[in-house]
Amino acid sequence: GAVVSQHPSWVICKSGTSVKIECRSLDFQATTMFWYRQFPKQSLMLMATSNEGSKATYEQGVEKDKFLINHASLTLSTLTVTSAHPEDSSFYICSGIELLAKNIQYFGAGTRLSVL
Amino acid sequence: AQSVSQHNHHVILSEAASLELGCNYSYGGTVNLFWYVQYPGQHLQLLLKYFSGDPLVKGIKGFEAEFIKSKFSFNLRKPSVQWSDTAEYFCAVTLTGGGNKLTFGTGTQLKVEL
């Protein structure tokens, strides 16, 4: 099956710094990528949808200036958490949809962000 | 807004027991339905999906699910679980014409004991 690589898998940062998370589709072209956030013992909540070459669409309640998303190519999307605070600590997961399989999302393994 | 409910948050079974995990969604339109599995330390993997046609769908690893439109349900079943089925299971829905946005249930943690 299609593979999505997410990096880093775990990051610890100081409050006020910015953190970039990469999401790469390794063996397919992802026209659309999604970013989710998962709180402990809760489900995945969609943060934003990004289409290659265009601005991301954010879900209600998600600050676009805080969570910067860039989808510059068909195989790479990045999420930058700007000026991170402890409340941003969470598990962030990305997924990609293959061009020819538009209804199926392939997920990365996630990034655990801890903000001190 | 659409929502997905998984009523069993934690399930503990012995090997060879039968499994049924409940999933209900609230939306009146046309939906696509998915079950994903997340093994410890691994990424979400697709178990099975329903788009249209036969409401009984078979997935990988012996899992199946039945779409019952009148009940807004898409329950996951397996006749005989194995220890290796220990994982977290998520039901998810997309709306036809909804841009492939997945709405997930809260997940069910399954533990299979030897």
Collapsing DSSP states into helix, strand and coil, what is residue B38?
strand
Per DSSP, A59 falls in state: P
Q: Is the pLDDT of residue B4 over 70?
A: yes
Q: Is the pLDDT of residue B73 over 70?
A: yes
How buried is residue B9: exposed, middle or buried, by Cβ count under 10 Å (0-12/13-18/19+)?
exposed
| Cβ contact, residue pair B106, A42, below 8 Å | yes
Stretch A11-39: mean pLDDT: 94
Q: Is B67 on the interface with A (CB under 8 A)?
A: no
- Which residue in A39, A95, A103, A112 has the most chain B C-beta atoms within 10 A of its own C-beta, making it the best mutation to test that interface? A103
- B41/chain A closest Cα distance in angstroms: 8
Computed over every residue of chain A, the mean pLDDT equals: 92
Query: pLDDT per residue over A55-79, tens digit each?
Result: 899 999 999 999 999 998 999 999 9
| Cβ contact, residue pair A103, B107, below 8 Å | no
Question: CA dist A109 to A25, A86, B13, B34, B58, Å?
Answer: 12, 22, 26, 18, 25
Between strands A44-51 and B108-113, the pairing is unpaired
Cα distance between residue A13 and residue B103, in whole Å: 30
